[in-house]
Amino acid sequence: MIDLSKALPTDNLYKFMSLTGLLTLLFCFVWPDLQANEVTSRGLELQREIRAWMSEVRDDAVNQKLMTKQDFIDVEKENARTPSVSLREYVTHWTARMKDVEQALLQSNSPEAKRLRLKAIEVKFLLEQLSYKLDKLDEYRNLAWYGIRLGFALAIAGFFLWYFQLQRFQDRNVKRDACK
């Protein structure tokens, strides 16, 4: 294992400052993208679960005569256009839509409707969880913007201070010693 205390140049505050700035800059570029990939993959899983669940609800609701086939044709049209909307719009849409579906399922006392209501609660929870993650992702992106600025400022200040406060004088001394 690499000992970081020996790998990082801690002999000079300016070098350390500039490298800290570069690491901060790199971290702030990479971290939000990693989080966005995680949230997006979870969102795609949730979309798949919602579509499967809605097909179950459709079959049960039509059989129980809770909804007409036209209601679900409208839902299928909405599902067909959802790939073009953002993940946040999808979550907002289905959070609102869940209330309508829950109301329709409450009209039936069949065991299948009870099972679908439990699944509706689970899907609603997943939607809330995804909404929370999307909000956190926005916070990460805002913090990353400040981190990028801070990292850039630290790196530039560290390199300039290192060069103008130390390196120029060391270069002169090396040149003078070489001429002797």
Tokens 């839902």 correspond to: 75
Extract the tokens encoding 65.
Answer: 């005569």
User: What is the pTM (predicted TM-score) of this model?
Assistant: 0.65
Decide: 90 and 43 in contact? Cβ < 8 Å: yes
Extract the tokens encoding 137.
Answer: 């992702």
97 — pLDDT class (breaks 50, 70, 90): confident
Q: Is the pLDDT of residue 12 over 80?
A: no
Q: Is the pLDDT of residue 180 over 80?
A: no
Distances (CA, A) of 55 to 24, 48, 168: 47, 11, 72
